[in-house]
Amino acid sequence: MTADLRHVVYANLRKNLRFLRRTTRSGDHWMKQRDLVDALALQGISGWHPQTVSQVENGSRGVDAAELVALSRIFRVTVDELLNADAGHDPRPSIGIYEQLTWP
């Protein structure tokens, strides 16, 4: 992967992860960084902290393949949807049901 492509892919991931986390309900509030850490732990991903989420969202940390798959499962999107950009488009399927989804 070229450096330019890597930059674009990680920029898309940062944008999409932040968007998904901030538009996903977790109980009575939008998903916080701690909620995402807990969800990742349920997927078998350990070692994440709220600071890790922040680092990924601001571009100072990447993700490995297992983390990427876990994130896609949590947000019910494909890995492709997490990594690609469609300017101004919600990476989730536009079927409207995601508005009713909550994370325990």
What pTM, to 2 d.p., does this model score? Answer: 0.78
In percent, the amount of the chain with pLDDT more than 90 equals 55
Domains of the chain: 3-89 (1.10.260.40)
Residue 9's identity, in one-letter code, is: V
pLDDT score of 74 = 95
pLDDT block averages, 10 residues each, the chain of length 104: 79 92 84 95 97 95 96 92 70 50 58
Q: Which residues sit opposite 30 in a β-bridge?
A: 25
Fill in the DSSP letter of residue 103.
E
pLDDT score of 94 = 46
